């Protein structure tokens, strides 16, 4: 087995035992990128010189007997929405194509403080707006399992990089499913944390009341370890409360005997792929074999979640995107001396069609006379969706659902039908509206393509879904399946 195929935990143990060096591990990842990324297109930027230098520095510390974090010396890829000091952060947009931030996002700083080796920045839908990574201004990313198919989005580059063993784990963002859906499509384990669990300072905002940051890795156990170092309050992000951070790695080893798991009838919809449905039901049986109890639950307002999300999200996008005006940073078209003309020309040239679509929808929904009818009403629906989950979690510990109604679809299949693309988020959006946590783990194949399941738990209860996911992976081998590109 090549070193780049190791899990994070395996790599940590190997480094500490002196079986290999961080430099050797990192070079294996770089070799994999050189071999396959011309096909997959997972990365926007690869910091080859910088990453070797980082790895050598860690090896020196190990040699000198320094006490190091389990993340030390291990290559990580970062979605190109995170500010990285001295390394380009583009949001996969022309408007920021050459932007180099003067500071690090809080989570990037945490990784650096723990001697993580940052290998590069991954492709995404422009400003995270999309579910297929086809909306990148640079190029679409392809699914390592089938190069004619999408990897999911918006964190598709991160998912593809982990699936193709170009790094050992990655960071992504999840606003309406952008970690969970690509994790399902690419057969990796991805964690959407509770709203406020991880600081978003220095991460380019899309929808401020929904955006979350989380790890994407090869196992639930790896995600538990990574979250330990990312979670917690940050004075630079007012949405992070001083909620205690659990010892996730310890919590996940406790057995799941007696765990109550709910299956919501509203998530088994007409038109859903039969093999996807079967994978979820098979997973429910496996959990019962492991000692959990599976019961039916109802989340009655699920059908209204997409409509509410696609008012709330564009409305906040409209507000957040106003800062990209061609004046302070990024692309600036200044041929005309007229200020309005600079704004209009810079934004017209710098922003893609999906970003413009959401800005227009959001501006309309927030405009005088329409705010009450649209944004306010959507927020009321959001409260109802949140109430559904609160009621369900009064009866069960975890909710088990599909992640997407189908496996990965073909590149170009939905790109000209935004509504069809939006409907792909039907199973991930409700948890986002409620602010709760969700974990995607591999659970089968449909027509040779990966199928993931989604485990949901109440806000700040990441330890329970990580525990359930870990025990499922101890009893199954779906997460060990590798794409054909290997």
Q: What string of DSSP letters covers 198-219?
A: B--TTB--S-TTT-EEEEEESS
Write out the E strands in 332-470.
Answer: 398-402, 437-446, 449-457
The whole-number average pLDDT for the span 418-446 is: 92
Whether 43 shows a pLDDT value over 70: the answer reads yes
Whether 136 shows a pLDDT value over 90: the answer reads yes
Q: Which H or E run includes 43? A: strand 43-46
**Which listed residue (79, 142, 192, 218) is catalytic?**
79
Whether 359 shows a pLDDT value over 80: the answer reads yes
Domain assignment present for residue 93? The answer is yes
**pLDDT tens digits along 246-277:** 999 999 999 999 999 999 999 998 889 999 99
Whether 178 is a known active-site residue: answer yes
Domain assignment present for residue 484? The answer is no
Q: Which residues contact 27 (CB under 8 A, 6 or more apart)?
A: 52, 55
The whole-number average pLDDT for the span 53-79 is: 97
Output phi, psi for 134, to 5 deg.
Answer: -90, -15
**Which listed residue (92, 93, 155, 178) is catalytic?**
178
Torsional sign, CA 79, 85, 87, 90: positive
Q: Which H or E run includes 471? A: helix 462-475
Phi-psi region of 269 (alpha: psi -120 to 50; beta: other; left: phi over 0): beta
Range of the domain at 18: 3-256
Output phi, psi for 174, to 5 deg.
Answer: -135, 110
User: Tokens for 188?
Assistant: 């990796």
**pLDDT tens digits along 141-152:** 999 999 999 999
Domain assignment present for residue 231? The answer is yes
Buried (b) or exposed (e) across 112-143, using 16+ Cβ within 10 A?
Answer: bebbbbbbbbbbbbbbbbbbbbbbbbeebbbb
Indicate the pTM of the whole model.
0.97
Banded pLDDT at 414 (limits 50, 70, 90): confident
pLDDT of residue 486: 60
Per the CB < 8 A criterion, the answer to whether 257 and 288 are in contact is no
pLDDT of residue 366: 94
Domain assignment present for residue 166? The answer is yes
Angstrom CA distances, 280 to 183, 217, 249, 252, stand at 15, 21, 25, 21
Whether 122 shows a pLDDT value over 70: the answer reads yes
**pLDDT tens digits along 300-327:** 999 999 999 999 999 999 999 999 998 9
pLDDT of residue 1: 77
The number of helices, as runs of H, and strands, as runs of E, in the chain is: 16, 11
pLDDT of residue 19: 97
> Considering the chain, what percentage of its residues have pLDDT values greater than 70?
100
How far apart are the C-alpha atoms of 10 and 464, rounded to whole Å? 23
Domain assignment present for residue 411? The answer is no
Q: Cα torsion for 368, 373, 377, 379, to the nearest 10°?
A: -20
pLDDT of residue 411: 96
How far apart are the C-alpha atoms of 158 and 178, rounded to whole Å? 10
**Which listed residue (92, 93, 132, 154) is catalytic?**
154
Find the CATH number of the domain harbouring 208: 3.90.1300.10
Whether 41 shows a pLDDT value over 70: the answer reads yes
Whether 367 is a known active-site residue: answer no
The whole-number average pLDDT for the span 381-407 is: 98
The whole-number average pLDDT for the span 285-294 is: 98
Give me the chain's average pLDDT, please: 96
Q: How many residues does the chain have?
A: 486
Domain tally, the chain: 1
User: Tokens for 438?
Assistant: 């969700």
The whole-number average pLDDT for the span 355-381 is: 94
């Amino acid at each position: 087995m090549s070193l780049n195929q190791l899990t994070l935990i395996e790599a940590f143990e190997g480094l500490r035992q002196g079986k290999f060096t961080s430099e050797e591990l990192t070079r294996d990842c770089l070799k994999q990128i050189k071999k396959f990324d011309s096909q997959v297109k997972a990365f926007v930027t690869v910091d080859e010189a910088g990453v070797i230098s980082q790895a050598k520095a860690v090896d020196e510390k190990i040699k000198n007997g320094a006490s190091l974090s389990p993340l030390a010396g291990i290559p990580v890829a970062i979605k190109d929405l995170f500010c990285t000091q001295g390394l380009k952060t583009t949001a996969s947009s022309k408007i920021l194509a050459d932007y180099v931030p003067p500071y690090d996002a809080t989570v990037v700083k945490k990784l650096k403080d723990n001697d993580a080796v940052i290998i590069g920045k991954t492709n995404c839908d422009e400003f995270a707006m999309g579910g297929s990574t086809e909306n990148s201004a640079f190029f679409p990313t392809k699914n390592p399992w089938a190069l004619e198919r999408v990897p999911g989005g918006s964190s598709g580059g991160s998912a593809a990089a982990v699936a193709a063993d170009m790094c050992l784990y990655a960071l992504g963002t999840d606003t309406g499913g952008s970690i969970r859906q690509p994790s399902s499509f690419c057969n990796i384990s991805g964690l959407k944390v509770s709203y406020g669990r991880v600081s978003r300072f220095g991460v380019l905002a899309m929808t401020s009341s929904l955006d979350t940051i989380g790890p994407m890795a090869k196992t639930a156990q790896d995600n538990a370890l990574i979250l330990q170092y990312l979670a917690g309050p940050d004075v630079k992000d007012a949405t992070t409360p001083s909620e205690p951070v659990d010892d996730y790695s310890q919590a996940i080893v406790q057995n799941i005997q007696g765990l109550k798991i709910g299956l919501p009838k509203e998530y088994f919809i007409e038109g859903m792929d039969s093999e996807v449905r079967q994978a979820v039901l098979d997973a429910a049986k496996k959990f019962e074999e492991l000692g959990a109890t599976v019961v039916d639950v109802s989340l009655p307002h699920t059908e209204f979640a997409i409509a509410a999300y696609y008012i709330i999200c564009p409305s906040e996008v409209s507000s957040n995107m106003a800062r990209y005006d061609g004046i302070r940073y990024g692309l600036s078209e200044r041929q005309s001396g007229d200020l309005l003309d600079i704004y209009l020309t810079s934004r017209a040239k710098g922003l893609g069609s999906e970003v413009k679509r959401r800005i227009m929808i959001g501006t309309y929904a927030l405009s005088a006379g329409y705010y009450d009818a649209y944004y306010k009403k959507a927020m009321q629906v959001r409260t109802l969706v949140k109430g559904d989950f609160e009621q369900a979690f009064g009866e069960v510990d975890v909710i088990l659902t599909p992640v997407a109604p189908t496996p990965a679809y073909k590149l170009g299949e939905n790109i000209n039908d935004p509504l069809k693309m939006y409907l792909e988020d039907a199973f991930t959006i409700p948890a986002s509206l409620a602010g709760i946590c969700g974990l995607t783990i591999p659970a089968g194949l449909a027509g040779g393509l990966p199928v993931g399941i989604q485990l949901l738990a109440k806000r700040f209860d990441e330890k329970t879904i990580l525990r359930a996911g870990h025990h499922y992976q101890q009893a199954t081998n779906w997460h060990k399946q590798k794409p054909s590109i290997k």
